[in-house]
Each structure stands twice: as structure tokens, then as C-alpha cells.
A and B are shown apart, each in its own frame.
Chain A
Amino acid sequence: MTAVRTPLVKPTRLAWPALAVVGALVAAALVVGALVGPADIGVGQVLTEILSRIPGVGIESGLSEIQQDILWSWRFPRVVLGMMVGGTLAISGASYQGVFRNPLADPYLLGIAAGAALGATLAIVSGLPAALVVPAAFVGGIGAVVATFTLGRTMGDRSATTLILAGVAMASFFTALTTFVQQRNSETLREVFAWILGRLSTSGWTEVALLAPYAAVSIAVMLSYRRVLDMLTVGDDEAASLGVDVNRVRTIVVIAATAGTAAAVAVSGLIAFVGIIVPHAVRLVAGTSYRVVLPLSLFAGAAFLVAADLAARNVMAPAELPIGVVTSFLGAPFFVLVLRTSRRSL
């Protein structure tokens, strides 16, 4: 047998250039997202306004109070919310694909969307204040996933396939309930559908503050398991023989991804396909290791959703498209492409 080759071959790690590229995309999305709108504010003004808010910098942007209000109360919260929702949905999708070893998996698979839609629908038709729609959607999304896990366990095993089948069953059940409630309350259909189709319009920083703690914790947990997700690619038995507590890892990652997604869905409505489009685009460029896919998906997802929101705001201006429609327009053909290229692994 031969001697060890020097220098030693190193395992895959996240390369700084790749991180710099997605970081630049996020920065560009932030600036462009803040620039676009009916009020004319220049790129220089946006940048100096951001710098002026940093303690100790001591420069003035020259923006009027109204322009500052537009930036800080409308555009920035919307862009930041878009980044948080996009990043959370993308990294959650990548994590689900890892734990279920299914390239088309995302958190919606276990019924989050259907549960959140039911929660929001019930809140709206009950005439609850708009501020309670978000927690209602969150509770609905989490409740659906808990129901899916409970159903999966009653089927006798904890395999990924069983869980996915239970998710399909629960999603159908929750969707049927939602449809029933909508039919009985047709006067609120417009409001319900406005929520279901997804939007990033905000009432300032409230939604950002609501989402931030969930997003921060769930993203931190998912990132800390990115190497273990690589272990799961060899299958449950082999991963177990390599020292992975497969059920524990699967449960923790699913809980983290679910909590993050449920919080994102609660504030933004149902924005489909981000969790599939972004991780797969990252894989095409940067390889399949979850060490790379997860952090890059986080940043790329943030930039992607801000770009999608820009499209939603401008394609039919002054009317605004639901952002969920934009992501679905992009996502549906992409989904088919992924399906065609990954049939073997399904």
C-alpha cells in the first residue's frame, strides 16, 4: 500500500469567497430593497443614512424627516423581514432535505402550511384583532406538526417515510378543515386569501421583533447540526454505526426548522418553494455538503426573498402581487427540474 500523500487532502469546509459572494448579495438586496419605491431616495443617501445611525460615525444623510420615516418605518423593516423570512425558509428547507434525505422535502411537508392557514383562517373569521392572526398561525403550524409526529408514532415506527406520509395525511385534513371554515364564512375570504398568498407588508418593526427570537434560535440550532446532516446522507443504519443518535438528531433538527418556519409563516403568510429553490441552487454552485449548503442557503435565501419582494412590488405597479405568487411562479418549474434530476434519490 502507498504512503500518505502530502500535503494532506482536507475535507470540505465553507470557503470564505463563497461566503463573501452571498454576503455581497445580501448587502445588495438590502440597498436595492431600500431604494425602490415611489419616493425617490438615492443610493448614496441610503448608505449615508445607514452610516449616520452608527454611534460615533457623526455624518448626516441629508434626508428629510419624511424620507427618513419612509426608510426606517417602511422600507427597512420590509427588507429586513424579507431577509429573515427568506433565510429561515431556505435553511429550514435544506435541513429538512438533510434529515429526510429527500431533495424535495421542506417544512411544509409535515403540515406547517396547512396548520398555519387553519390558525390564521380561524383568527380572521372569528374577528380577532389583526395582531392575533400571527400567533394563531404559529400555533396552527406547530399544532399540525405535533399532530403529524403523533400520528407517525402511532404507526409503529419513526422512519422518515412514515413521518412524511403522516404529514401528507395531516396536511390534507387541515386543508379540508380550512376550506370548510372558509366556505362557512365567505365574507372574510378576501382577507383570508390575502394572508394565505403571502406578503411582506409590515406595520414597522413589530413583525421583525416577533420573528427574530425564533429565527435566531432555530438558525443557530440548524447550523450547529450541519456536519451531522452530512452523516445522515449515508442512511440511518450507517449513520448510527458511525455514532449518530439518528432519532435524536432528526427530532432536534425538525423542531428547530419547524419552529423557525412556523414563525416565518405566521408573519409573512404562505410563501412557497423558497426552501426548495434556494438550497438546490446553492448545491448546483457549491456542492452537496450540508456544511456549505446550510450557511449559504441562509444568506442566499435572504437575498432571494428580497428580490422576489421587489418583483412583487414592481411587476404590476402600482398594484402589488402577493409574494407567494412570485415564488410559486419561479418555484413550480424549478421543482419539476429538481424532480427530473433527482428521481433516483426519491
Chain B
Amino acid sequence: MIGTVEIRELTVRRSGRPVVHGLDLAVDRGEWVGLIGPNGAGKSTVLEAAAGLLDSSGAVEIGGKSMRSLSPIERAKRVSLVPQSPVIPPGMSVIDYVMLGRNPYLGRFGVESPDDVLAANVAIADLDLGPFASKRVEDLSGGERQRVVIARALAQACPVLLLDEPTSALDVGVRMGVLDHIDAIRRSCGLTVISAVHDLTLAAQFCDRLVMLAGGSIVAEGSAEGVLTPDTIRRHYGARVRVISDDDGVIVIPIRAGDSREDGGSGRMASRI
């Protein structure tokens, strides 16, 4: 199926040192998988390798096709990537920037069809960027820019969307709105999403499955309840947390080291420490 992702024995080296080694990951069409883990765990590297941007050993298949066997255009029709630190070109307007996402569908002479223009306008409207469409991206706020980058990825209209810390610059309201919108597309179109997320609560709220990386390998995988345990988080993040699981889902609350109010998990709420 076109939206499936299969990564087998993925190893990526930087400066001769393996930063991801022997990683296996299979994602179904329409599934949302969250990559979590401490800084340097290899989350961004896995996403870049899945997008076919890195030299790596092992296999990355999207919809049963090896990324290595595909041309850049074919890859860009299958996978779109929202990078952690996107480059904002000076002087480029929002509409021109979002139109970059339509590149895989343009003809040899690069003339946009009315469908391409419509797709870009829809992506802009969906992310509430309509009033900014003619403005320069560099003149927008950090959060607005982040939405513009996501709009570009949505205009790319791929079955697989890779998000590398997609909402780190957004306030909580916009963040939930953007993620809800991506989730709605996922549910209606079978979009497959793999996202690297630092916010563990957010990961738990939106992802069907969490994959925790540490040192370039998978150290835990499964549901939010199964992966986000205080022990696991303490072991791999070196942080103390309280994990609350209730009707709203799993919520991870960091606890300041040495905080006397922290009771080790015996609070009245349904915490599991």
C-alpha cells in the first residue's frame, strides 16, 4: 500500500560514527507514529533517512518501493518533510514558498496548473494563513513561519508526512489546531505521519504508537501507556516525571529535582510511578 513505511536495518554514520544503527520500523498506512527520545537519540536522522536525504545502509521502503530506486521527483511525491530548522529564503512570499511544495507535479517547464495554485491556496487557508499569503515569509512571526512550512508540506500532497518538531514555536492553541488539522487529514485521507516530538504529552495525545530512541536504537515501542513510564523516562532522559493517565489520555509532568512536594507517585491522581 502506498502509505506504508518500512525501515529495515537502518544504519546512518556521521563522521564515521554510527548515529543510528540497525533500526527496524514498520508503519501502516494512516498510522501516526511518534519518535521520542532525548537530544541526540537519532530522531531527526531517522526522518531524514526516511525522506531519502542521507547516505545510509539498510532499506527504506515507502509503499513497498525502495527509496533508493526512486528519482528525486518520485520520492517527493511519496514523502514530504517538515524540517526542524527550515531555511526561510529572503524576500519570498508565502504563496511562492508554499508553491515549492507543488514542484513534484509540475511539468518540464515548471508552469503551475490551476490545480497547483488551488492546492497551495487550500493549504494556506487550512493553516489560517490566508491574510499572509502575499506577505514575505521572513516578516512573519516564528509560529506563523512554522505554519507556512507545514502548509508547504501539505501542498506537497504525499501519502507520508514526516514532521521534525513541527510545532515547537507555536502557542498551545495554535499547536493543537495544527495537529488536529493534520490528524483530520490523516483520518480522512489515510495520511501516514511520523513525527519527532519532544513534548511527551503531545506525543501521547496524537500518536497511535510511540517509538523511543536512545543512542540511535529503539529502546521502547508501543502505546503511550506502555512507553511513557517514569522509569523509562528517567532511564533515557535522566528526568523525573509524573505520568497521569485518565480520560484525557496520558499526561507527562516534569518534576524539578529535589522538589519536596513530589511524592514519588503516590498522589491522589491516577499517577503511575
Contacts and interface: CB of A to CB of B under 8 A. Distances in A.
A1 B92 contact: no
B109 to A, nearest CB: 7
A287 B96 CA distance: 12
A8 B121 CA distance: 7
B122 interface: yes
Given A241-B51, A242-B104, A288 B80 contact: no
Interface size class of A (residues with CB under 8 A): 20 to 34
A345 B81 CA distance: 23
Contacts of A60: none
Interface stretch (B35-43, B126-134, B231-239, B259-267): B126-134
A287 B135 CA distance: 12
Contact of B86 (A1, A224, A234): A234
Contact of A234 (B53, B87, B110): B87
B96 A289 contact: yes
Contacts of B72: 240, 243-245
Contacts of B79: 241
B110 A227 contact: yes
A1 B53 contact: no
Contacts of B53: 237, 240-241
Interface residues of B, number: 48
B87 A238 contact: yes
Contacts, number: 103
A234 B91 contact: no
B159 interface: no
A234 B96 contact: no
B89 interface: yes
A340 interface: no
Given A9-B124, A11-B112, A4 B91 contact: no
Nearest to A4: B125
A224 B109 contact: yes
Given A4-B125, A241-B80, A11 B120 contact: yes
B75 interface: yes
B76 A2 contact: no
Interface string B93-136: 10110011101101001101000011011101111101001100
B119 to A, nearest CB: 10
A230 interface: yes
Contacts of A234: 86-87, 89, 100
B48 interface: yes
A244 B103 contact: yes
Contact of A11 (B96, B127, B181): B96
Given A10-B95, A11-B95, 10 more contacts: A4-B122, A12-B93, A12-B95, A230-B96, A233-B89, A234-B100, A242-B103, A243-B72, A243-B76, A288-B89
